[in-house]
Every structure is written in structure tokens, then in C-alpha cells.
Amino acid sequence: MTPEPVTPEPMTTEEIVRYVVARAVWAPSVHNTQPWRFTADGGPRVILHADAGRRLAVADPDGREMMISCGAALFTIRLALRSLGYIPETRVLPDPAQPALVAEVSWRERAAADEFERRLSSHVLTRRTHRGAFDPEPLPPDTLAALRTAAAREGAALRIVADDGRRAALAAAVQTAEHQLRQDGERLRELARWTPAPGSARRDGVPATSYPARAERTQPYYPGRDFARGHGWGVPPLSLATSHRAAGVAGLLATTADRPADWVQAGQALQRILLTASACGAAVALHSQPLEVPWLREFLRTQLSDAACPHLVLRIGLVTQVALSVRRDPGDVLFPTGDDRADASPG
């Protein structure tokens, strides 16, 4: 077979950096905090920093969810480079003295993107987090195998929770966590800071265009976050008819260890899973509520995760998505190396 020709180098280094960052900002992040900054020094490399000023101080004291979010941005940088025909060289947490320096990605060698990389890349801007129920139709064959492989390729595991008893236990953990979080004033105030009112001009946080106005019950029930906080915000249901709606296939994203490097790995795996699902025509709902409550996280680790460290509950299914999200402009997060604004703020 004749190898696919490498496309000619059409872009300058500066254009490549801007292209890569413009795509990376569309990675998912907890409460759409977008806890990242990027720096570039004019050479063929981009540096990803965690912006600790955007960490959820109450919900995420260790910065685990912040690093997962940065990991998702890192995967997107790598994929963007592949889509341009470059081979990314990645160093994760290259300097122990600078824990906010998440990764350095450089590129020199070229090789044309393959068909699958191009497909994944075409979903970066359109993939959306789903919130609510799914259609009852089963996933296309091989979807779950593709998602498990996606996690494994990034050094993480997607553990499908298949039997009814374990699914009920997983849903109960989400319910218990959500109940507990709704009683916690500090948590509610933090959530309020990341849930702008409809019509807000903000380019971060969870907009009212991205969650349903009415919780969709499923069996078992995985409650969503209370983004509307009693204001009645959110997308009205498409139809008032109550058709049979499904919870989807549930699973846990896990890594073998629980250090910052594992969190970054979990984030890269998450974005590969989400884009693979999107490329298979499926949508994914994310629940991190029980992972933010230490005793529930421990319960999930010992009872449903074979002692691997769980990071997120995922539900996967088919649905027509209507959610719209927002992002800050790449120009607001990309700085020349040494620029004061690029210094990670203390967490």
C-alpha cells in the first residue's frame, strides 16, 4: 500500500500554536472552569499550565479535578498536532519544582494523520457534555470496546458497571453525594460562582443553555448537578410527553495510582473517550459528585473499581443533543513565555 503523503507545511509556528490552543480550550473542565493557560516562546512547542486561581477551592482541595481538566486539554493539543501531520513529543509535569507546569508539548517530526485521528479531531469543537436521560436504543456494536481501548491507550481504565445491583449502588453513590452537596452552604456558594444567569456574557462557567430545565428521571436515577439552583434556568424539554428514557451504560474512569501525573493521565483518557464516543454517534454524561466526597470515593474504589482509583462516573448513550457551551477566547489564555499574566496564580 502506498503511504499517505504528508501534507506540505502550510502554517508558521505561530499559526500552529494559535490553532492548537484554539482547539485545546474546547476540552471539558469541571464546571467549565477552564483552569489552564498556555505559553509559547516562538519555537515549535507549547506549554500548558494549570491556573490554580480557577481551582474549585471547596470541591477540589487537592486540585485533582483541575489536573483532569488540564489533562483533557493536553490530549486535545496532541490531537490537534496530529491533525496537522505533526508527531507531538510530550513531557508531563516536567519540573517537580513547578507543579502547575502540566506539560510541554513540542513537535519536529511529521507523519500524516490517520483516518481515525482525523475523525476524532473533527469532534473537538462539537462534542458536548450530555445532562439527563438517553434514548432507549442500544449503543452501536463495538462502541464500548472502542471506549475501553481509548482509556487504555492513555494509561487509564474505563470500568463498565454492568450488573443491576452494581448499577444501583453506583447510582446510589451519585444520589447520596448530590444530596450531601445540596446541604453544604460553602459548596452551593462555590457552584453559584460558576453558574451564570441566562443571557450572561461570561465565557466560562456552566451556561443555562447546557443543562435541562427539568431533571429527567431514569431507572436507576443518577441526579445531575443543581446548576439552576431553584431559578428555573435551563433548556425546556423538547416535548412534554414522557417517553421511556434510559440511564445509559454506566462506568467509572480509573487509574492505578492517585498522584498528579495519574490525574493528568485520567484527563487525557477522558478526552479520548469523549471524542471516541462522539465519533461513534454516542453522547456521555459525567458525574463527579461522589468523587468529591472522600468516603464515597473510597466506597467506589473498594466496591466498584477493583481498588483502582476512580475519577469520574460516566453514562454513555444515544440522544439528540441540544446543549450549547461557551469558552474564553484563545487570546485570553495564550501568552508569550515570561509574560506576567502567564504566571500561575497561587492556589
Q: What is the CA radius of gyration of the chain?
A: 20
How far is it, in rounded angstroms, from Cα 117 to Cα 101?
A: 26
Contact in structure between 74 and 267 (CB atoms under 8 Å):
yes
- The set of residues, in sequence order, having a beta carbon less than 8 Å from that of 345 and lying 6+ positions away, is 51, 52, 53
User: Could you give the 3-state DSSP secondary structure of residue 51?
Assistant: coil
Q: How many other C-beta atoms can be found within 10 angstroms of the C-beta atom of residue 332? A: 14
Shortest Cβ 173–ligand FMN spacing (Å): 12
Query: How does 236-268 read in b/e, with b if 16+ C-beta sit within 10 Å?
Result: eeeeeeeeebbbbbbbbbbbeebebbbbbbbbb
Measured distance between the N- and C-terminal CA atoms of the chain, rounded to whole angstroms: 53
Q: How many other C-beta atoms can be found within 10 angstroms of the C-beta atom of residue 24? A: 30
Shortest Cβ 291–ligand FMN spacing (Å): 8
Shortest Cβ 206–ligand FMN spacing (Å): 5
Q: Which of 123, 119, 143, 124 is nearest to 251 (CA)?
A: 143
Is the Cβ of residue 261 or residue 323 nearer to ligand FMN in the bound state?
A: 323
Shortest Cβ 227–ligand FMN spacing (Å): 7
Is the Cβ of residue 89 or residue 221 nearer to ligand FMN in the bound state?
A: 221
Shortest Cβ 138–ligand FMN spacing (Å): 23
Shortest Cβ 30–ligand FMN spacing (Å): 4
User: Which residue minimizes CB distance to ligand FMN?
Assistant: 28
Shortest Cβ 131–ligand FMN spacing (Å): 5
Q: Where would I find the beta strands (DSSP E) of the chain?
A: 36-40, 45-50, 86-92, 101-110, 157-160, 249-255, 283-287, 309-317, 334-336
Is the Cβ of residue 70 or residue 342 nearer to ligand FMN in the bound state?
A: 70
Is the Cβ of residue 112 or residue 319 nearer to ligand FMN in the bound state?
A: 319
How far is it, in rounded angstroms, from Cα 121 to Cα 279?
A: 9
Q: What is the contact surface with ligand FMN in residues (CB under 6 A)?
A: 28-32, 65, 68-69, 72, 128-129, 131, 206, 210, 224-225, 286-289, 312, 323, 325
